[in-house]
Amino acid sequence: TFAAALKIVGKRRELFWDFVRDLVASGEEYRARLGYVLMLYYYLDEPSYFEKICRVMERYPTEQHFVEYAKAWLLSYAWRSYPQQTNKFLVRSGLSDETKLVAVRKILAFRDIAPSEKQAVFGLRDVLQKRERMLRAQRRAEERAEGGGRPRKPKTPGVRQLEYERIRALVESTRQEQP
């Protein structure tokens, strides 16, 4: 990838940190994504940068799809080096639940994570999924209260119901024919 080819960033981390942070701060989807991928490739292996990376993620929230996936990818690899710190960040951060769930899925895809660590990740996943379901239900209830929301499809009768109605109509018609 383009980010992997920028080896000079890895050799001169301190010099390029402001540039990488500015990419994220730009708000432009592909520039911000590049910034997070550069953090993944060249800054994640240095413990002193982990907290800086977390602060950048929280400082520049976004809803852009590719940026959110880059954050999730970065967090999944951060888990390998800093599992406790990453777990704390995932729990307390203001990142979207969607981003957190993608990060958790990517963490669970790693084959070399200890079973005890995977259990912690499963617990986090369950909490996030439960919260997402509750928020979704709350949103739907609010939309219904406002009179909006998705219109309900009229129920179409099933085969048994149609057969029952057909038989009932035949019985009724035979009753009417009888004197």
pLDDT of res. 61: 87
DSSP 97-148: HHHHHHHHHHHHH-SSS-HHHHHHHHHHHHHHHHHHHHHHHHHHHHHHHTT-
In whole angstroms, give the CA distance from residue 68 to residue 74: 10
Q: Count Cβ neighbours within 10 Å for each residue of 139-163 and write b for 16 or more, e otherwise.
A: eeeeeeeeeeeeeeeeeeeeeeeee
pLDDT digits (tens, 9 = 90+) for 75-110: 999 998 898 899 889 888 888 888 998 999 999 888
Which regions of the chain are under pLDDT 50? none
106, two tokens: 């990517």
Rounded to two decimals, what is the model's pTM? Answer: 0.71
57, two tokens: 């993620």
